Amino acid sequence: MYLYLLRMIRHFLKFGDNQMFENFKLSEHFTFFELTRTSIVELQKVNRVIAEDYIDNLKILASARLEMIRSFFNRPMAITSGFRCEKLNERVGGSKTSQHMIGDAADFYIVTMEIKDVFEVIMKRLSNFRWGQLIYYPEHGFIHISNIGAGKNKNQVLIYDDGEYKLLQSGSFK
């Protein structure tokens, strides 16, 4: 809570009162707002304030992971969840070590494609892509993609099926 107040003060000093949040591009097609949005209204503000500490990670996520997928399919992507502060992550039942909490992960789908097809195409083209973890959530209709963690989880592919994660590929770079 104390840290949150300090962050609010810093945010206030930076942006002033009448412009609480500034939207800006993290990469060509993805904005700060898109990658910090939540449907839980009461956590929207705090989520964006805390996200300001992780802008560097979010920029890498947007430019190196999301743009890569977007340009490959050349179709608009919808982000269902990007940065999640600890509180928000708890509310949505995220893992305690979720990469969403440091701006290193996003969940997405492609607006005009079946999620199953998106996943299959990415799987077939594995060698052209780079990520930390790719997790397919068939029941939820989205795919999770993360930045490359510190020395682990390189090009790992999992499916969340029947309430558990199954490893499809414990990838590594060639």
Give whichever of 152 and 174 is closer to Zn ion, judged by the CB atom: 152
CA 132 and chain centroid, separation: 12
Please calculate the CA angle 65-71-75 and round it to the nearest 5 degrees: 110
> Can you tell me which of 144, 147, 157, 171 binds Zn ion, judged by CB under 5 A?
144
**DSSP-H helix ranges across the chain:** 2-15, 44-51, 55-60, 67-73, 86-91, 115-124
Which residue is at the shortest CB distance from Zn ion?
144
Give whichever of 11 and 50 is closer to Zn ion, judged by the CB atom: 50
Shortest distance, CB of residue 132 to Zn ion, whole angstroms?
11
How many whole angstroms separate alpha carbon 73 and alpha carbon 76?
8
Q: Which of residues 95-114 bind Zn ion (CB under 5 A)?
A: 105, 107
> Per rule CB under 5 A, is residue 65 in the interface with Zn ion?
no
Residues of this chain that interact with Zn ion (CB under 5 A) are 105, 107, 144
